[in-house]
Amino acid sequence: MPLALRKDTLNGDPESLHQPLLSSQRSIVNSTSQVAIVGSNVSPIESLDYEIIENEFFKQDWRSRGASQIFQYIFMKWLLCFLIGFIVSLIAFCNNLAVENLAGIKFVITSNMMLERRFLLAFAVFFASNLGLTIFSAVITALIAPAATGSGIPEVKAYLNGVDAPGIFTVRTLFVKIIGSITAVSSSLLIGKAGPMVHTGACVASLLGQGGSKRYGLTWKWLRFFKNDRDRRDLVMCGSAAGIAAAFRAPVGGVLFALEEMTSWWRSALLWRAFFTTAIVAIVLRAMIDVCLSGKCGLFGKGGLIMFDVYSASISYHLAEVPLVFILGVIGGILGSLYNFMLSKVLRVYNFINEKGTICKIVLACVISIFTSFLLFGLPWFASCQPCPLDAAEPCPTIGRSGNFKKFQCPPDHYNDLASLIFNTNDDAIRNLFSRDTNEEFQYSSMFIFFITCFFLSIFSYGVVAPAGLFVPVIVTGASYGRFVGMLVGKRTNLHHGLYAVLGAASFLGGSMRTTVSLCVIMLELTNNLLLLPLIMMVLLVSKTVADAFNANIYDLIMKAKGFPYLETHAEPYMRQLTVGDVVTGPLQMFNGIEKVRNIMFILKTTRHNGFPVIDEPPLSEAPVLSGLILRDHLVTLLKNKVFFPTPRAIGDDVFKKFTSDDFAKKGSNKGEKIEDIQLTEEEMEMFIDLHPFTNTSPYTVVETMSLGKALTLFREVGLRHLLVIPKITGRSPVVGILTRHDFMPEHILGVHPLLIFLCGQGLHIHEYTVPSFMKVLMGRITFGTYENLAMLYPQVTCPSIIDPHMYSG
C-alpha cells in the first residue's frame, strides 16, 4: 500500500507533497492585514465564505429537499426581512423617544433655572448630567462591548465585503449600541444616531439570520434556516438599509445608501427585498407617529424622528442662482475633504490613547464631555441679545420646550440666537437652520461661531469610546456653513436662508460621505421638497468632484485606518504588471483524497489556513489531479464525528446517513468548533478519512501566469475566499498555491516586491495608511542600492508614468 507507506514518512520528508512548492524565498506566511481595529480594540479577523461549496454532500442535500422545505426557505427570507424592518423601526422609534425625552428634560430644567437667573446651578446640572450620561455610555461600551464604539458603518461595510470581525453582531453589541447611543446623544456630545442605527439594523439582521444568540439562550429553531454566509450577508444588507430608513424616515434613501455605500455585491432580487424591508419601516414608523401625535410621548413632539420638513409650495429659482450654488458646492467639497483629513488624523491619535487601556478610553470620553459642556454653555454668553421679532410665529422667547428663540441670559422680549442653535439638541438646531421666513433671526457672528464649533467639536467627539454617528454632525455643520453663506449673499438672492442651509448640508455631506444618488434622495425625503432636486443634484456633484481630488470618503478612510482588508473593485494598474505567481506565498498545505487522520490533525493544528486543496494521487488516479478544496470547518466536523476507516477506502453512500446538513452549516462568527477541542486516541490517529464527498469539486482556479489584476477581478466579482493557482506547465503538482484576500492587499504585494515602490515612484497609488507598515517591510529587506540594480532584478515590472485607478477598470 504505497499511499499509507508514503504518508508515514511525511513529517520529516523534504520531498513530500506537503512541502512548499514555491521557491524558498517566498515561503513566508502572509500575515499582513490579519488583524484590524474593531470598534476600539484590535482583533483578529477572518474572511467570510460567500462561495457556494459544491460538494457531493451539498448537492445530495439539495436534491433531497421537498417542496415544503423550499417554500419554507423562501418564506423565511421574506419573513426575516419583515421582522428586520419591524424590529429596527421599533428600536429607532424608542431611541428617538428616549433621546428627545432625556435631552429635552435636561434642557427644560436648565432653561428654567436660567429663567430664574440661577446660572451657576444651571451649569452644574447641565455639566453633571452630560458627564454622567457620557461616563455611563463610555463605561458600558468599553467594558461590555468595545465593538460598539463609533458608527459601525465601516465594520458593516467591511462585513458586506467579506471581512468577518469578531463581536460586531452579538447581543451585547446590539444592547450597548442602543443604550450607549441613547445616552451618548443625550449627553450633548456632537455625535449622531444614524450610523449606530445602521449598525443596529445590521446587528438585528445578523442575529435573526443566525437564529438568535446561543450564549443567552435566545435561540429559535425555526429561525435557524440560513446556514451560510451568503444568505446572512443579504440579510445584513437589508438590515443596514432599514437602519438608514429608520434614522431619517427615508425608505428609498435607505435602500440607495445600502446599495451605493454599504454593499459590495448587488442583485436586482436583493434590491427588491431591501425595498420591502424599508417599506415595512416606513409603515411602522408612520403608525407609531400616529400614536404619538395624540401627545402621549412626552417631549417627543410633533416633528418626531429626524424630519426637517422645510416645505414651501413655490420655490422659484433661476439660472442666476446657479453660479452661487456652484461656489457653495466647491467650498463645501473643500471643507468636506478637510473634515475627512482632520477626522482621520484625530482618530489616529485617539487610537494611541485607546490602546493604553480601558481607563484611558473613559478618561478621554470624560475630557471631551467636559470640554463640550463648557463650550455649549459658555459660547452663548459672547452673543449679543436680539429683540424678539414682532411677527414671530411662535412665542418669543420660547419657554419650557425647545424652539427657535432661547432666552438664555437675555432680558425679557429678547433672545440669544447663538443659544438657540448651540444650547439645543442637534435635531432642533438643524430644524432652526432649515426653517424658512427666519432670514433676520441669526447674526453673522453667531452663525460663524456655531459653524466653527460644530466643525471642530464633531471631529473631536467621533472617536470617543461610545456609539457615535457622523451623519447628524456633518448635516449640522454643513447647514450652518450654508446658512452663513446665505446670510453673506443677503438680499441678492431669491432663495431664503433655510434653503441655503439645506444646500450647505448637501454640499458638506457630498464632500465628506461622497455618495450622490442616495444622499440626494435622503435630502429630498428629509426636507420633503422635490422642487429642490436639480439644485441638490448639482451641489452634490460639485462637492463630491472637488473633494475626490483630495482624499477618499470618510468611511473608507476610517476603514483603512482600522486596517480592514477591504477588496476594491478596481485593480490597481501595477497589478496588471504582476502575475499571480509573483504574489502567492507558501507553504502550501494539501491533503490526499483519502488522508490519514494524523496528518489532518497535524496540519490543522500547525497552520491557520481555512481551505486546503485535495489531491488525488496514484493509485487513486493516473496522475496527481486536483480533486477540489476542503474547508477547515468541514474537516473539524469530520474529525469530531470520527468516521474513520482502518484502511484507506472510499466512504460510499454511508456519508448521507452519518451526517446531516446541519453538521456542515456555517456557524456564526467565532462560534465554530476548534481543532484544539478534539481529542483522538493514538489508534484513531492512524486511521483514514475519505474527504471526497466533502470536497468542493468546483473551486475557481487561475493559471500562475494570469495577471494579478484579472485574478483580482475574478476574486472580487465572484466573491471568493480562496482562489487556487494552477501551474502553467504540466507535470508539476496540480496546484501551486492559494490566493486569499490578503494576497491582494497593497501591503502584501509591496512586501513581496518591495522594489515596486522605487520603480513605480510617485505614481504608485499607495493608501496613506499602508505606507508605514510597508516601510517596515521595506527597511528590513533591502540591502542593496541603486535604481538600476533594482530594475535589473525586476525587469518585468514597468509602471505607467501616471496611474489612474479608474483607467483600466473604467
Q: According to CB under 8 A, which residues from 505 to 524 bind a copy of itself?
A: 516-517, 520-521, 524
In the bound state with a copy of itself, the residue whose beta carbon lies nearer, of 417 and 704, is 704
Burial of 356 (0-12, 13-18, 19+ CB in 10 A): exposed
Closer residue to a copy of itself (CB): 214 or 728: 728
Question: Cβ 800 to a copy of itself, closest distance in Å?
Answer: 5
- Shortest distance in whole angstroms from residue 404 CB to a copy of itself: 22
Q: Between 284 and 651, whose beta carbon lies closer to a copy of itself?
A: 284
Shortest distance in whole angstroms from residue 737 CB to a copy of itself: 16
Residue of 5, 319, 359, 549 interacting with a copy of itself (CB under 8 A): 319
**Shortest gap between Cβ of 806 and a copy of itself (angstroms)?**
6
Q: Beta partners for 579?
A: 707
- Could you tell me whether strands 737-739 and 723-726 are parallel, antiparallel, or unpaired per DSSP bridges? antiparallel
CA angle 520–530–481, rounded 5-degree value? 55
36-to-69, 154, 521, 578, 653 alpha-carbon distances in Å: 39, 12, 33, 27, 43
Name the residue among 260, 253, 277 with its Cα closest to residue 528: 253
What the block records as the C-alpha cell of 350 is 485617539
**Closest distance of CB 330 from a copy of itself, Å:** 16
Q: Does 275 bind a copy of itself (CB under 8 A)?
A: yes
Q: How many residues bind a copy of itself (CB under 8 A)?
A: 97
Q: Closer to a copy of itself by CB, 276 or 451: give it.
A: 276
* Residue (249 or 598) nearer to a copy of itself, CB: 249
Tell me which residues in 473-492 interact with a copy of itself (CB under 8 A).
Answer: none
Judged by DSSP in three states, 493 sits in: coil
For a copy of itself, the binding residue among 707, 767, 777, 778 (CB under 8 A) is 707
**Stretch 556-585 residues interacting with a copy of itself (CB under 8 A):** 569, 573, 576-577
Q: What angle do CA 87, 201, 151 make, to 5 degrees?
A: 140
User: 474572511: which residue's cell?
Assistant: 47
Closest alpha carbon to 344 in 562, 597, 180: 562
Distance CA 281, CA 249 (A): 8
Candidate residues 29, 94, 533, 782; the one interacting with a copy of itself per rule CB under 8 A: 533
Q: Does 256 bind a copy of itself (CB under 8 A)?
A: yes
Other Cβ atoms closer than 10 A to 787: 11
Spell out a b/e string for 515-525, using b for 16 or more CB atoms within 10 Å of the CB, else e. Answer: bbebbbbbbbb
Q: Which stretch binds a copy of itself (CB under 8 A): 156-164, 192-200, 335-343, 620-628?
A: 620-628
**Contact with a copy of itself (CB under 8 A) among 46, 231, 663, 684:** 231
269 is a site residue for a copy of itself (CB under 8 A) = yes
Q: Of residues 343, 368, 506, 706, which one binds a copy of itself by CB under 8 A?
A: 706
> Hey, which residues between 57 and 96 contact a copy of itself (CB under 8 A)?
59, 62-63, 65-67, 70, 73-74
Q: Which is nearer to a copy of itself, 275 or 500 (CB)?
A: 275
What's the closest the beta carbon of residue 650 comes to a copy of itself, in angstroms?
17
Q: What whole-number distance in Å separates Cα of residue 557 and Cα of residue 565?
A: 12
Q: Is 234 near a copy of itself (CB under 8 A)?
A: yes
Q: Figure out which of the listed residues 660, 705, 780, 781 binds a copy of itself, where binding follows CB under 8 A.
A: 705
Tell me how far, at minimum, the Cβ of 645 lies from a copy of itself, in Å: 25
> Quick one: 352 exposed, middle or buried, by C-beta within 10 A (0-12, 13-18, 19+)?
exposed
Q: Which of 1, 5, 120, 313 is in the footprint of a copy of itself by CB under 8 A? A: 313
Nearer to a copy of itself, 542 or 638 (CB): 542
Q: What angle do CA 458, 461, 462 make, to 5 degrees?
A: 85
Nearer Cβ to a copy of itself (372/515):
515
Q: Is 119 exposed, middle or buried (0-12, 13-18, 19+ CB in 10 A)?
A: middle
Indicate the angle between helix axes 554-562 and 153-161, nearest 10 degrees: 80
Spatial CB neighbours of 24, under 8 Å, sequence gap ≥ 6 = none
Which residues touch 712 (CB under 8 Å, ≥6 apart)?
567, 571, 575, 744
d(CA 747, CA 16): 31
- List, in sequence order, every residue forming a beta bridge with 665; answer none if it has no partner: none
Nearer to a copy of itself, 541 or 771 (CB): 541
What dihedral do alpha carbons 118, 124, 125, 126 form, nearest 10°?
100
Window 129-148: residues binding a copy of itself (CB under 8 A): none
Q: If binding is defined by CB under 8 A, does position 412 make contact with a copy of itself? A: no
Q: Are the beta carbons of 133 and 17 closer than 8 angstroms?
A: no
* Whether 502 contacts 527, CB under 8 Å: yes
Minimal CA–CA distance to 463: which of 350, 555, 338? 350
Q: How far is the CB of 708 from a copy of itself (least distance, A)?
A: 9
Strands 212-213 and 218-219: antiparallel
Of 473 and 573, CB closest to a copy of itself: 573
Residues 781-800, one symbol each (x = binds a copy of itself by CB under 8 A, - = not), give -----------------xxx
Task: Tell me: does residue 808 bind a copy of itself (CB under 8 A).
Answer: yes
Q: How far is the CB of 280 from a copy of itself (least distance, A)?
A: 9
Regarding 728 and contact with a copy of itself (CB under 8 A), the answer is yes
Distance CA 23, CA 654 (A): 42
Helix (H, G, I), strand (E, B) or coil at 667: coil
Which of 49, 100, 441, 525 binds a copy of itself (CB under 8 A)? It is 525
Q: What are the distances in angstroms from CA 380 to CA 104, 113, 121, 433, 610? A: 19, 16, 17, 16, 59
From the list 154, 209, 251, 511, which residue makes contact with a copy of itself (rule: CB under 8 A)?
Answer: 251
Using CB under 8 A as the binding rule, whether residue 681 contacts a copy of itself is answered as no
Stretch that binds a copy of itself, among 171-179, 448-456, 710-718, 739-747 (CB under 8 A): 710-718
Three-state SS at 467: strand
**Interaction with a copy of itself in 280-309: which residues (CB under 8 A)?**
282-283, 286-287, 290
| By the rule CB under 8 A, 267 interacts with a copy of itself | yes
Nearer to a copy of itself, 23 or 730 (CB): 730
Is 801 one of the binding residues for a copy of itself (CB under 8 A)? yes
Q: Which stretch binds a copy of itself (CB under 8 A): 166-174, 602-610, 730-738, 747-755?
A: 730-738
373 near a copy of itself (CB under 8 A): no
Interacting residue with a copy of itself among 174, 208, 626, 689 (CB under 8 A): 626
Nearer to a copy of itself, 764 or 799 (CB): 799
- Please tell me whether residue 390 binds a copy of itself under the rule CB under 8 A: no
Map grid coordinates 448630567 to a residue.
Answer: 129
Q: Is 623 in the site for a copy of itself (CB under 8 A)?
A: yes
Judged by CB under 8 A, which of 734, 746, 751, 754 binds a copy of itself? 734
Cβ neighbors of 663 (< 8 A, separation 6 or more) are: 637, 641
Q: Is the separation of the CB atoms in 763 and 803 below 8 Å?
A: yes
By CB under 8 A, tell whether 717 contacts a copy of itself.
yes
The correct pick among 52, 124, 128, 488 for binding a copy of itself (CB under 8 A) is 52
Q: How many CB atoms lie within 10 A of CB 50?
A: 18
Is position 810 an interface residue for a copy of itself (rule: CB under 8 A)?
yes
